[in-house]
Structure 1
Amino acid sequence: MHALFHLLPTLGLRFKPSSSRFLSHPISFSYSLSTMSSSVALPSVSLKKVSFGGPEFLKSSNSLGFKHGIRGFGPRNLDKSRVFMSVSVGSQTAVDDALFLDYKPTCAFLFPGQGAQAVGMGKEAQKVPAAEDLYKKANDILGFDLLDVCINGPKEKLDSTVLSQPAIYVTSLAAVEVLRARDGGQQIIDSVDVTCGLSLGEYTALAFAGAFSFEDGLKLVKLRGEAMQGAADAAKSAMVSVIGLDSEKVQLLCDAANEDVDESDKVQIANFLCPGNYAVSGGVKGVEAVEAKAKSFKARMTVRLAVAGAFHTSFMEPAVSRLEAALAATEIRTPRIPVISNVDAQPHADPDTIKKILARQVTSPVQWETTVKTLLNKELKKSYELGPGKVIAGIVKRINKGAAIENIDV
């Protein structure tokens, strides 16, 4: 390690640790100098900062806002620690986005998205102080008693986009604390080496992975819900699940529906969930055309979704600029473990790339089927669904009946 520090000046690089406490622990230095030298002109490059992506950083910075940090990622896991080097060219700082490209998953945490909410969720959190504390932190940010709405409703209020998204985010992270309090729970949390979430759940996964603090994540989710509601209010749109068809047939169904409606009512597949279950988004007339034609395409049924509008399509474009501004003002770090994106079913390490991906996510189809299939093809051993409902577990089982997944509900 020290030999590399002495080598850096000869390469035109400067090393500046962001905190001296990082150097008090054994760390591994795995940056490829050969790769760096082939991609940038060394004399004009300086090593601007070190972003610590390992467990001790999470514990010391209390990045999720938990009372005692995320204890599962404490000193006992320093063998998993990494130092991520960011190379600065001029005023731009970037992290190698391919850092997690060859990830090999063994244990995954999967987080649900909007639609998983149900009145009564959060009851178990009251029994675990660390979980209940998250709701108290949320109250200060949201300005109302979130746990009361989760437990007592009313349903119409909980189902609203502006409230359901923060409620699911907080409840899912509370589920992590409920699991931690169980016998063997800490060992499970320690073993997680990949995470992802369905739509909104991607924010929960990023918070769990330490990409941003619990509080910052909640602020983003709150704004996301408000921005998506605003975009939905701007145009008449809807979503419908098509049950019993493969993705090719659903696409043909969309094409047929689009022949009967104006451009402003066009539809597309918005959520690639699992074989036999794909969500279609678009203008109300386009969605009605899908419903009318579904039987002729041999669909088993269609189910209109109780959401504000056509999520994950261009109908959400008005929300993008608000998200971009909020993300630009938020500190995002390289996740300590891979977080699989909904947009391209790939993990990303560069904070700037993560920000761009999250802004694009609301207008891009959710590639959940590809995500789950990729994890299973990479021989994922076990996964856990953390949060309200059992939607994720059902999807995983639909893709592979033999997949091992456990639900941690609260």
Structure 2
Amino acid sequence: MKNVYSKQEKRKLLFSLPVIVAALGYFVDVYDLLLFSIVRIPSLTDLGYDPDVIGPIINSWQMAGLLVGGILWGVLGDKRGRLSVLFGSIITYSLANIACGFIPNIHFMDQADTYLILRFIAGVGLAGELGAGITLVSESLPKELRAIGTSLVAGIGLCGAVVAKLTVELSGHWTYAYFIGGAMGLCLLLLRLGVIEPGMYTSVQHDQSISKGSFWMFFNNKVRFVKYVKCIGIGLPTWFCIGILATLGNQFGDAMGLTSAVDPGLAIMWAYIGISVGDFASGFISQWLKSRKKAIFGMMIFTLVGVVLMLFSGYKSVETFYFYCVWLGLGTGYWAMFVTVAAEQFGTNIRSTAATTIPNIVRGTVGLMTFLFMYSKGSLGVIAAGAMVGLISFAIGISSTLTVPETHDKDLDFVE
């Protein structure tokens, strides 16, 4: 039976403290997560390294940190509580980002190695933010408002990428952008002091008969395992667009013979402007269609069309490339919906583990996509190599979306 809420009640629920804290937390998370991609070229050039050689390696290690942190924070979120993750993760990545600002002053070890280690640590910290936030909001809001609430979190949060690019431009030096990101994270800790655990979790927190935060539960049951793998598959196209097409946009621009060079930082910024709008819209689209799957499938097809046009329509203007970045961003704005679906698939005792590990495994696949792209571009060329990686990503994504169980209006008060 559905509950009916007045407009005033909806506003109060959608702008409650858990939603605001999760949105601002994800804002800082995205700022710090994308900051290296934005400052990759100026920072590594400033340090005396080749950005196209060292950059992908450091980025892959950051993504490896996300994989490790995804498991760590996901398990802790179910064993110790959602709030423990929100505090622990933000302290970790905030301090790591502040340390990145001091890299030019480090001379006792190789600066590239220092950069790599710190981005790995930052990746571990960044892994906990989104999953814990989406889990907290999903369990705090009624099912009728879950999709809109999580879309607000992601829509606001993803603006962090735009602010990251503007901060780099306005601050005058890439090190200041790292200091600002770390400071924002530490300030956010104060706001989180007023948030409490959702009742849905506290009702099972101290029940010793229920296994909580067991990562292996996704592998010891065939139905759970298949759902888990399909949830990962749904997210692959999103990070193909960001991790390959936008982050390595300068390589695609050169291969297309564009009249001026693509700035990867601008490509990421324009993509995330689109993603922010898409994420705001995805929750309302899902409510209108009364289906998570239909909303995601429609946005995925829209993205696929944009990828084909970006790579093969024969334009020469860099502005057109940025236009397609916005297009891809709008389409991959189902990111919040995808994480929400992951959270809704599983019971309260492993929900945080699912919602945290799944998006970070998707982020971690950027390392594999980058390796496949770099390995293939020598024989296939940049455009064909990118198209091949994209074809694999979208084939898995579309198949997973069509076959995963529908979770619209699903009651989340259950355990595995």
Where on the TM-score scale, by shorter chain, does this alignment land: which range?
Answer: under 0.3
Structure with higher strand content: 1
Q: Which has the higher contact order (CA 8 A, sep 6+)?
A: 2
Q: TM-score, normalising length from structure 2?
A: 0.23
Q: TM-score, normalising length from structure 1?
A: 0.24
